[in-house]
């Protein structure tokens, strides 16, 4: 069965410092992986996706994630946090060609950015 | 191009009342989904549809019903509202296999049952 685990429910960083949000996945197949961001009282927006091409994926707003099959991880990083990055982030896994065709969401990591 | 539109944005229901959450997309997407989001729990799939006339249950379907008579619309029906259905509901759509395309989300409906 497919699953995704976000290792931290809450991460707090200072503005200008690096961001690391951790995600591990479990899948019997070659997974597709996504990161979504949700700002307060808003819908979810796609940050980036991995679909078996390059293992280092670049997304919007300076975020990137690296797919590491040996570690079953897909951590999200950003070199320098901005106040506007404060939001909740969801790691998501799917099976390519899965019969249900739906995505499985992690429980989310809330990112706080201190001035 | 409006994307995925959900109405209403907010609603308060009394226990036992019924209501329909509306979801419309104008991107000609085949796949549509309903999720609920509870604090600290991520998103749970309620129902999904892979095309007009085809629907199936997700992880938490009890207390809900759906229909898909057109490609554009995917309404979610609550028949007898219960406090456990207090949540934020998101509709999403995808062109084809979401493993390749991901989802486009609506802005959500915040429902409170009292």
Q: Quick one: pLDDT at residue A94?
A: 83
Note the pLDDT tens digit of each residue in B62-72.
Answer: 999 999 999 99
More confident residue, B102 or A4: A4
What is the 8-class DSSP label of residue A108? -
**Which residue in A90, A103, A107 is closest to B40 by CB distance?**
A107
**Cβ <8 Å between A97 and B41:** no
CB within 8 Å: B102 and A49:
yes
Q: Nearest by CB to B99, which of A9, A32, A90?
A: A32
d(CA B108, CA A34): 20
Q: What is the pLDDT of residue A51?
A: 82
Domains delineated in chain B: 4-99 (2.60.40.10)
Query: pLDDT value at position A101?
Result: 59
Confidence at B49, pLDDT banded by 50, 70, 90? very high
Chain A residue whose CA is closest to B34: A102
With CB atoms and an 8 Å threshold, state whether A45 touches B105. yes
- The strand pairing partners of B97, in sequence order, are none
Contacts of B100 in chain A (CB under 8 A): 32, 51, 96
pLDDT value of residue A3: 85
User: In the block, which residue shows the tokens 């808003």?
Assistant: A42
Predicted local distance difference test score (pLDDT) of residue A99 = 47
Lowest mean pLDDT among A75-84, A88-97, B41-50, B78-87: A88-97
B31 pLDDT exceeds 80?
Answer: yes
From A77's Cα to the closest Cα of chain B, the distance in A is 20
pLDDT average, residue stretch B85-99: 90
> Which pLDDT score, from 0 to 100, does residue A45 have?
93
More confident residue, A99 or B94: B94
Residue to substitute from B34, B35, B43, interface A, most A β-carbons within 10 A: B43
Please report the pLDDT score of residue A2 as a whole number: 76
Span of A92-106, B75-89, B94-108 with lowest mean pLDDT: A92-106
Which pLDDT does position A53 carry in this prediction? Answer: 75
Rounded distance between C-alpha atoms, residue B48 and residue A78, angstroms: 33
**Domain positions in chain A:** 3-114
- Report pLDDT for B41: 85
pLDDT reported for residue B1: 64
Rg (CA), chain A: 14
Q: How many CB pairs (< 8 A) connect A and B?
A: 62
Extract the residue ranges of chain A whose pLDDT is less than 50: 99
Contact residues for B99 (Cβ-Cβ < 8 A; gap 6+)? A32, A51, A94, A95, A96, A97, A98, A101, A103
For residue B12, the 8-state DSSP code is E
**Does position B88 have pLDDT exceeding 60, yes or no?**
yes
CATH superfamily to which A3-114 belongs: Immunoglobulins (2.60.40.10)
């Amino acid at each position: 069965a497919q699953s995704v685990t976000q290792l931290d429910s809450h991460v707090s960083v200072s503005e200008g410092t690096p961001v690391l949000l951790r995600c591990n996945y479990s899948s019997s197949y070659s997974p597709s992986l996504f990161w979504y961001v949700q700002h307060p009282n808003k819908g979810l927006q796609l940050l980036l996706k991995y679909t078996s091409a390059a293992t280092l994926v670049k997304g919007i707003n300076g975020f990137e994630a690296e797919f590491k099959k040996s570690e079953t991880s897909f951590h999200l990083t950003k070199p320098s946090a901005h106040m506007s990055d404060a939001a909740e982030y969801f790691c998501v896994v799917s099976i390519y060609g899965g019969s249900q065709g739906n995505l499985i969401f992690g429980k989310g990591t809330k990112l706080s950015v201190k001035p | 191009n409006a994307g995925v539109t959900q109405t209403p944005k907010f609603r308060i229901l009394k226990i036992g009342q019924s209501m329909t959450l509306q979801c419309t997309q104008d991107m000609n997407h085949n796949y549509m989904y309903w999720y609920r989001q509870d604090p600290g729990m991520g998103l749970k799939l309620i129902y999904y549809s892979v095309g007009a006339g085809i629907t199936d249950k997700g992880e938490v379907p009890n207390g809900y019903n759906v229909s898909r008579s057109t490609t554009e619309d995917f309404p979610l029906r609550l028949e007898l509202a219960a406090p456990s259905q207090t949540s934020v509901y998101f509709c999403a759509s995808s062109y084809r296999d979401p493993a390749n395309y991901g989802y486009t989300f609506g802005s959500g409906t915040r429902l409170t049952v009292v």
